[in-house]
Amino acid sequence: MTSLFLHGPLARLEGLSLVLGHPVAVGRARLAGFDARAPLPGHWPMLTEAAGAQTEGLDLRNPAEVDLARLDWLAACFGQRRGPLPDGREAFLPLTPPSAPGVPQPSGHEEVVTEALRDLMADYQRLDLPLSTVRWDMMLRRAASRLRAQGHEGAKLRREATGGDITLRDRRVVYANYFSVEEYDFRHSRFDGGTSPEINRAAFISSDAATVLPYDPKRDLVLVVEQIRSGPLARGAENPWLLEPIAGRVDPFETPEDCARREAGEEAGLTLDRLIEAARYYPSPGAKAEFLYSYIALCDLPDDLPRLGGLASEAEDIRAHLLPFEELMALIDTPEFASGPLILSALWLAAKRDGLRRAA
Report the distance separating Cα 304 and Cα 54, nearest Å: 52
Whether the Cβ atoms of residue 192 and residue 174 lie closer than 8 Å to each other:
no
Q: How many residues does the chain have?
A: 360
C-alpha dihedral sign at 152, 157, 162, 165? negative
Per-residue three-class SS string for 176-229:
ECCCEEEEEEEEEECCCCCECCCEEEEEEECCCEEEEEEEECCCCEEEEEEEEC
Report the distance separating Cα 95 and Cα 73, nearest Å: 14
C-alpha dihedral sign at 274, 323, 342, 264? negative
Q: What's 193's DSSP letter?
A: S
137: helix, coil or strand?
A: helix
C-alpha dihedral sign at 264, 266, 267, 270? positive
Report the distance separating Cα 14 and Cα 66, nearest Å: 18
Among 83, 88, 56, 61, residue whose Cα is nearest residue 72: 83
Among 94, 117, 109, residue whose Cα is nearest residue 45: 94
Active-site residue numbers? 314
Report the distance separating Cα 28 and Cα 9, nearest Å: 14
CA angle at 13 for the pair 10 and 16, rounded to the nearest 5°: 45
Q: Torsion over CA of 219, 299, 277 and 332, rounded to 10 degrees?
A: 40
Among 267, 275, 319, residue whose Cα is nearest residue 299: 275
β-sheet with 46-61: strand ranges across: 27-37, 46-61, 3-6, 90-94, 80-84
